[in-house]
């Protein structure tokens, strides 16, 4: 049987590139030749701290783009030669762990089934029937197409915050997702954008994504004071935190306006407690929430935004790595030197 190279996670802080059999698609399944798989912050969290959903060994990676090279009987969603982007979270009422829910329920690429840090990936029947598998035009490169998954999460984050034309926003944390949200906010007609970041290097990198935003370096300015002063005490319609920081979450609640939305988007490591003055929430009548992952509709919107140039996918690609250098790709992501590291399994 033909073999391929793949990145296996064998346990916490244990990954290795090994040869394994190329999957053979059965009825309702398809085989994807993976051209690009981006490193996500959650890949690093899983590597460093583990995840109770994983059953080792597992092939990780969930920000994927590639070409369909084989299909099983009965497959109509894709055909041989199709270029597709593949997301993470597979929805569907077939999963009865939580009754009445039609959004994703703990069934995701690189978690419950093998992901995209491999030369080939099996698109199983559930993924093809329910999940985020979106056709990609020839004008969109594979590296940029792989970023549809994180962009879809950003789309969902703004959607849940009821964000739209004429509204103001503050983005706290200007890593890859934060920069995507800056571009999205502009594309969706934001009236005013604030962007807060501690690292001066990250802040300077982010400027190209929203040149007209008010950038705040938290080493030099108090973001809450800046936002409240420059909005004449009103605050902003939405605050979204992409940095995993208790302080950022507190700042978000303090700077949001009346009837505004706070999205605690950035996950926190461990189990830190967040203490807030509940009277702020009470009297502002604001909505405090979190979002995680995305639905297939968000993935389709992300591909549209990338394909039309509303979001500049190539701007996020800082460095590429062959599959054999997965450890270097992880290290590059953790260094915060650039934005996105892309693994190219075919190189």
* Least confident residue range of 31-35, 100-104, 255-259: 100-104
Residues 112 and 184 in one domain: no
Query: 255 has which bridge partners?
Result: none
Nearest to 58 by CA among 42, 69, 47, 48: 47
pLDDT over 50 (residue 129): yes
Q: What is the CATH number of the domain that holds 320?
A: 3.90.180.10
Residues 50 and 158 in one domain: no
Residues 117 and 197 in one domain: no
Whether 305 is covered by a domain: the verdict is: no
Chain segment 281-310, per-residue pLDDT in tens: 999 999 999 998 999 999 999 999 999 999
Chain segment 76-128, per-residue pLDDT in tens: 999 999 999 999 988 865 444 444 455 546 788 988 999 999 999 999 999 99
170 SS3 class? strand
Cβ-contact 260, 236 below 8 angstroms: yes
Residues 15 and 116 in one domain: yes
Span 214-234, average pLDDT: 98
Burial of 121 (0-12, 13-18, 19+ CB in 10 A): buried
Residues 201 and 264 in one domain: yes
pLDDT over 80 (residue 314): yes
Token duo for residue 71 = 């299909």
| Average pLDDT score over the chain | 94
Please tell me the total count of domains within the chain.
2
Whether 302 is covered by a domain: the verdict is: no
Chain segment 139-165, per-residue pLDDT in tens: 999 999 999 999 999 999 999 999 999
Domain hosting residue 176, numbered range: 152-289
Residue 330: CB atoms within 10 A of its CB come to 20
Q: What is the CATH number of the domain that holds 168?
A: 3.40.50.720
Token duo for residue 175 = 């890593």
Residues 41 and 115 in one domain: yes
Burial of 70 (0-12, 13-18, 19+ CB in 10 A): middle
Residues 332 and 259 in one domain: no
Span 271-284, average pLDDT: 88
Residues 61 and 99 in one domain: yes
Whether 307 is covered by a domain: the verdict is: no
What integer pLDDT is reported at residue 100 of this predicted model? Answer: 46
Q: How do strand 83-86 and strand 63-71 relate by DSSP bridges? A: antiparallel
Residues 142 and 168 in one domain: no
Whether 58 is covered by a domain: the verdict is: yes
Whether 252 is covered by a domain: the verdict is: yes
**How many Cα atoms sit within 13 Å of 252 on the Cβ side?**
32
Q: How far apart are CA 59 and CA 7, in angstroms?
A: 6
Residues 96 and 156 in one domain: no
Q: Show the DSSP H helices in 207-338 as ranges.
A: 223-230, 246-255, 278-284, 296-308, 313-316, 326-335
Residues 256 and 332 in one domain: no
Residues 142 and 80 in one domain: yes
Token duo for residue 295 = 């639905």
Q: Which residues contact 10 (CB under 8 A, 6 or more apart)?
A: 16, 56, 57
Whether 301 is covered by a domain: the verdict is: no
What integer pLDDT is reported at residue 92 of this predicted model? Answer: 64
Confidence band for 198, pLDDT divided at 50, 70 and 90: very high
Whether 219 is covered by a domain: the verdict is: yes
């Amino acid at each position: 049987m033909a073999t391929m190279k793949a990145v296996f996670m064998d346990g916490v802080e244990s990954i290795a590139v090994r040869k394994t059999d190329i999957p053979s698609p059965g009825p309702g399944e398809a085989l994807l030749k993976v051209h690009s798989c981006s490193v996500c912050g959650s890949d690093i969290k899983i590597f460093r701290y583990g995840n109770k959903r994983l059953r080792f060994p597992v092939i990780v990676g969930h920000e994927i783009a590639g070409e369909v090279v084989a299909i099983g009987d009965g497959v109509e969603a894709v055909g041989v030669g199709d270029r597709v982007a593949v997301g993470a979270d597979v929805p569907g009422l077939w999963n009865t762990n939580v009754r009445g829910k039609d959004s994703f329920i703990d069934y995701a690429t690189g978690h419950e089934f093998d992901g995209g840090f491999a030369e080939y990936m099996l698109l199983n029947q559930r993924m093809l029937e329910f999940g985020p598998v979106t056709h990609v035009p020839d004008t969109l490169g594979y590296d940029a197409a792989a970023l549809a998954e994180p962009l879809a999460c950003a789309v969902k984050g703004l959607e849940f915050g009821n964000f739209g034309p004429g509204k103001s926003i503050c983005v706290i944390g200007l890593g890859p997702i934060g920069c995507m949200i800056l571009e999205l906010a502009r594309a969706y007609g934001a009236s005013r954008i604030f962007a807060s970041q501690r690292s001066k290097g990250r802040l300077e990198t982010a400027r190209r994504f929203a040149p007209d935003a008010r950038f705040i370096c938290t080493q030099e300015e108090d973001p809450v004071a800046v936002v409240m002063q420059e909005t004449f005490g009103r605050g902003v319609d939405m605050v979204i935190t992409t940095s995993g920081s208790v302080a950022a979450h507190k700042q978000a609640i303090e700077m949001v306006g009346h009837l505004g939305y706070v999205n605690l988007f950035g996950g926190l490591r461990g189990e830190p407690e967040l203490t807030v003055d509940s009277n702020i929430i009470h009297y502002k009548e604001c909505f405090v929430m979190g979002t995680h992952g995305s639905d297939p509709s968000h993935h389709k919107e992300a591909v549209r935004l990338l394909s039309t140039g509303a979001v500049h996918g190539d701007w996020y690609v800082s460095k590429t790595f062959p599959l054999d250098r997965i450890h270097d790709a992880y290290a590059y992501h953790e260094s915060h030197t650039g934005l996105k590291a892309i693994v190219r399994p075919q190189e």
